[in-house]
Amino acid sequence: MQTLKLSMAVSLVLGLTACFSSTIEVQATERISSSLEQKVIAWRRDLHQHPELSNREFRTARVISEHLESLGLEVQTEVAHTGVVAILEGGKPGPLIALRADMDALPVTEQTDLPFRSEAIGEYRGDEVGVMHACGHDLHVAMLMGAAEHLVAHREQIQGSVMFIFQPAEEGAPANEEGGAELMLKEGLFAAQKPEAVFGIHVWSAQNTGKLGYRSGPLMASSDRFEINVKGVQTHGSRPWGGVDPIVAAGQIITNVQSIVSRQVDITKAPAVISFGIVEGGVRNNIIPDNVYLEGTIRNFDMDIRQSIFERLTATAEHTAKSSGAEVHVHIDEGYPVTINDPTLTARMLPTMERVAGADNVLENPLVTGAEDFSFYALETPGLFVFLGITPPDQDPATAPSNHSPFFYADEAALKTGTELYINWVFDYPES
């Protein structure tokens, strides 16, 4: 009897050990070598020193495509002007997933003291401007290039396939041009092979190095631009009754529009913002002009509320203008949709993020009123978009120069975390 009990106990322990070992094997974390990490850093510095504006990322695209071709991948170039796409076939059957990095820089003159700081010059809206990777897209590209190299070297262990998306014009296409994620999809990026999921990373100065910020559901706001032209009838300032004052009508429109969010939108469902950024009208103190131009931005976190705001903005402007005897034309330029992280995908990949960065370094992110055109991909297939901290550990992120600042600085130690996150998403997705 004692022998039987002992045998059963040993069998139980061996069974649990085997089960535990199997779990560990499935959840083993892929790490990059120090030599690959140094390559990623070198690529980042080169890209940082040679930034290019939206839809003009010619050198950047060449650097990317040459690297992917050197890995033996079949590369598609000139997607949405300068985008680069490649697909890696794994050694085992499984799903297709996509990894995305954006490529473009900003019309910002760099004011850091980095030895590889940008001195590039470009043209923006007809003016000569400094160009800088002030939002960290150089890091995104370098991390995905590094992930591609590691994954190619381990392709036999990959279940399924990986689509590498190097996307231009995330910051917005130049006037009268299309670009970015929307154009890549319009040209058929997901038409022939649609991924089961798409993943993206954005470096973030509001977090310390290596920390990951995620949020299930809405993460970043939609971003839409509106124009309101208020037409009155010009008259002398001493005789306002002789015409129709568009300045007074415009002022009433600005005031009344604020009631859309404060009184008409259910803010318990999702926050929203309507801001006026441009008010132009008049040339002389004693002449009432015949026209006033207003321009602003709309941000919100719910696609249905977004459409409701469009309708309410137009109705408010038209009715307010009519009450003053003025005419009005409202144009809404729909920009980026709400960036929504698929809740199921987010929960499924959270253990991966915790393993790569450490559970204590993975934090739930608050809503961000900035916008991202990764949102277009996530409307087509389940998406997961996370923030990677790049502010040095000894610095308070609240004091760090923000993304888009001429003083924007990234701690390159974060590159390893981001590269490994891309890689582990690939290995873990089919198993999760």
Residue with tokens 């399924």: 160
Two structure tokens written together for 62: 């060449």
pLDDT digits (tens, 9 = 90+) for 317-362: 999 999 999 999 999 999 999 999 999 999 999 999 999 999 999 9
pLDDT digits (tens, 9 = 90+) for 255-307: 999 999 999 999 999 999 999 999 999 999 999 999 999 999 999 999 999 99
What is the pLDDT, as a whole number, of residue 293?
98
What is the pLDDT, as a whole number, of residue 20?
42
Q: Is 216 left (phi over 0), alpha (psi -120 to 50) or beta?
A: beta
Whether 18 shows a pLDDT value over 60: the answer reads no
DSSP 8-state code for residue 154? T
Is 89 annotated in the active site? no
Q: For the stretch 38-61, what's the b/e string if a residue is b when 16 or more beta carbons lie within 10 angstroms of its beta carbon?
A: ebbbebbbebbbbbbbbbbbeebb
Is 334 annotated in the active site? no
Percentages helix, strand, coil for the chain, rounded to the nearest 5? 40, 30, 30
Two structure tokens written together for 95: 């799903």
Domain 222-336 has CATH 3.30.70.360: yes
Whole-angstrom CA distances from 233 to 38, 247, 279, 287 are 66, 11, 18, 11
- Catalytic residue from among 214, 336, 377, 429: 336
Angle at 352 between CA 346 and CA 354, to 5 degrees: 95
What is the pLDDT, as a whole number, of residue 11?
47
Rg (CA), the chain: 26
Q: Give the model's confidence band at 432: pLDDT under 50 very low, under 70 low, under 90 confident, else very high.
A: confident
Q: Range(s) for CATH 3.30.70.360 in the chain?
A: 222-336
Rounded to 5 degrees, φ, ψ at 363 are -125, 145
Whether 2 shows a pLDDT value over 60: the answer reads no
Helix (H, G, I), strand (E, B) or coil at 236: strand
Q: Range(s) for CATH 3.40.630.10 in the chain?
A: 32-219+338-431
CATH code of the domain made up of 32-219+338-431: 3.40.630.10
pLDDT digits (tens, 9 = 90+) for 43-77: 999 999 999 999 999 999 999 999 999 999 999 99
pLDDT digits (tens, 9 = 90+) for 234-249: 999 999 999 999 999 9
DSSP string covering 1-21: -HHHHHHHHHHHHHHHHHHHH
Q: Give the model's confidence band at 8: pLDDT under 50 very low, under 70 low, under 90 confident, else very high.
A: very low
